[in-house]
Chains A and B, each alone.
Chain A
Amino acid sequence: MMKIALLIKQVPDTRTVRMDEKTGTVVRDGNEAIVNPLDLYALKAALDLKAAQPGTTVTAISMGPPNAEKALKEALALGADDALLICDRAAAGSDTKATATILTAALNASGPFDLVLTGERATDGDTGQVGPEIAAAAGFGLITFANSVTATAGGIEVERKTENEVERWKVELPALVSVTKAVGEVGLPTLKGKMVARRRVVPVKNTTELGLAPGNIGLEGSPTRVVRIFRPSITRNGIKLQIFDEASLESAVDVLASFVKGEEKA
């Protein structure tokens, strides 16, 4: 019987996301936020552990704007027992370290937890740092990129695949585990689950309630500075051959022939 915390994040839908060419930032207007797809594997791992050990509870925790409640309600609809939203303007601009500071405080406030599960990274920031930083801050054991998590008498057993081998770890609790796609897909929410989640009130806490000082969070508490975000330019300089008559066909053949001979640097 475990008390599991599940960390989830809302991210822009990568299928429809657009970038502002000038500022290099994500255009958030009109883009629907979704649950970070990689976090859904963590939810799957949590729900499997819950199903295997009756009495195990799953609490979904997210830090984000008020509409991140939607992600938490999705977790509730899929089978999480409780949810907590950390929502505070003071947290805006937090880097991975400041985010880990806030989430560690959230875990302490609603815990203690035996196991914290996360996705391997979020599809927007793409760092995969927050989980390990929380483990360090909270003093938890850490396993990243787990392919499976099973409960044992004394803790959990975790399998992770490396380039050459499969590692199997016996892990003492408390621990933080980030999981991969290999864990499996979470199901779809049922209508009953949705109806219950829709009527639940998700508790919201701010950073003051978590006892955090402004200097440790937000931009001020973030040692990382984003200097510039840009699209890498593609270095292949191709030429376009348009064929519309005999003459253009001939010249195109000439260009291709010289390219094959190595005369033309395409």
Chain B
Amino acid sequence: MTAQYSIVTPEIVARLEEICGKNFVIFRDEERLEPYSHDEIPGKHYRHMPEVVVRPQSTEEVSAILKLANAEHIAVTPRGAGSGLSGGAVPVYGGIVIATDRMNKILELDKENMMVVVQPGVIANDINEFLRPHGLLYAGYPMSMETCYIGGNVAENAGGGKAVKYGVTARYVLGLEVVLPNGEILEVGGKLLKDVTGYNLLPLFTGSEGTLGFFTKIILKVIPRPKYQFDLLVLFKDSRSAINAVPATMTESGITPTSIEYMDAASFQSACRYLNETLPYQEAGAMLLVSVDGNDPEQMMDELEVLGGFLEKHGAFMVYVADNPANSERIWKIRRSVAESFSLYFARQSGEDVVVPPACIADVVEEFQRLAERYGVIIPCYGHAGDGNLHSRVSAPDSWSDERWEQTLPLVLQELYELVAKRGGRISGEHGIGCKRLKYMPSVVSKTFLDVLRSIKKALDPNNIMNPGKVFES
């Protein structure tokens, strides 16, 4: 991290206060600045204090802040809810953190066009609670929907448990108002379902991890909300048969589930223990959670029967059904609690987010286990098996010293990422590169790819003030 930035002086702070109002600038107040120094990566590694935090309320305020920062060459880090898992919102060069929490309005529901216009600081779940009475759904939301902000979702191109059927955030982003690093305001896309007027910049900004601009307005596509969701909790003796059943289900069952989630033995045992779950899971070596949604319960039960029968043919020894919200919550809670329960049982861990072609998940999981054995670590795997996105948590045994863990983790990650790259995969499916995986980028993507990213970055942010120290070394 060699980039040099100007420091935030009291004079700069005074100008920020002029822009946003005194009450919405935090400076020289360690206690109030601390929450802006990290995201949800456990541990102390990916933390850095900002020099100042500003909480603007309008596009004009954001534009004025960026103009100032660009002119004074101060690093700027946009921040949503801080629920990220890649260090994307960590101000690694200090400087200014621009928080989106006050830009939290749902601006418009355009029912005729089936679109909703929101500011970046709206909680993803609040969009759906707002849409519910209208029978509509924003389907791109991730698993952390109850806390994460839509602006962060767009910045990371977040995915979620329903991506198998509904895709990820980008599928629903139709338009963006972006404040560029020089403070200029750019409109990209709009209330359009088709648009080939010039380069398609929407997918470039979506997933740019806050390095190309600051989103101040987001137009999202909404769809009719399915009335019901039914789920199957499917138990297998071992992980290979469970994972092999996933691509087979997708390609041969004739049904597109909304989710296919995978949990290996360590994952569900940890979550079930944490939840005091009494289901007889002891004989299982792996679980799949398969969901369907729709408006006709009879037809959905038909689909569950077909899916369940199919999974039994592929080695499932027990299939449980949840066709009401209480039971559905009971089994989804197991999946949602995996990460939390691991944090409780393993003090030192690194949450990974690799994505591989769905058909080779079984091989990758087995290779991870061999890697784990070689280094003496534990690598439980779970996640969105239906779309090839695995969350593996490289964890240290309790007996290890901190030093041993610090030395071993980079070696394990390097091999793990290389192994994924060899399979045609990538090191992050939905969490992003941020500052956490930045150093591994050169070993998993080509130089030409990185050069193209750098050229784009340079064209839009020549002074490199927008979220520096993220995605790739500039």
Contacts and interface: CB of A to CB of B under 8 A. Distances in A.
Contact of A184 (B23, B278, B301, B320): B278
A254 interface: no
A191 B320 contact: yes
A157 B319 CA distance: 34
A189 interface: yes
Interface in B314-332: 318-327, 330-331
Interface string B104-118: 000000000000000
Contacts, number: 51
Contact of A37 (B304, B305, B326): B326
Contacts of A192: 319
B210 interface: no
B325 A188 contact: no
B326 A34 contact: yes
B232 A191 contact: yes
A187 B326 contact: no
B331 A188 contact: yes
A89 interface: no
B308 interface: yes
Contact of B280 (A184, A187, A198): A187
Interface residues of B, number: 24
Contact of A188 (B305, B308, B320): B320
A195 B302 CA distance: 9
Contacts of A194: 301, 304, 321, 323
A248 to B, nearest CB: 11
Interface string B430-446: 00000000000000000
A187 B318 contact: no
Nearest to B230: A194
A13 interface: yes
A77 B322 CA distance: 11
A188 B330 contact: yes
A191 B306 CA distance: 10
A184 B308 CA distance: 27
A8 to B, nearest CB: 14
Contacts of B232: 191
Contacts of A77: 321
A185 interface: yes
Contacts of B278: 184-185, 187
Contacts of A198: 301
Contacts of B280: 187
B460 to A, nearest CB: 37
Interface of A: 13, 15-16, 32, 34, 37, 74, 77, 184-185, 187-195, 198, 244
25 contacts: A13-B325, A15-B325, A16-B325, A34-B325, A34-B326, A74-B324, A185-B278, A187-B278, A187-B320, A188-B233, A188-B321, A188-B327, A188-B330, A189-B327, A190-B318, A190-B321, A191-B305, A191-B308, A191-B319, A191-B320, A191-B321, A193-B321, A194-B301, A194-B321, A195-B305
Top-3 shortest CB links A-B: A188-B320, A191-B319, A191-B308
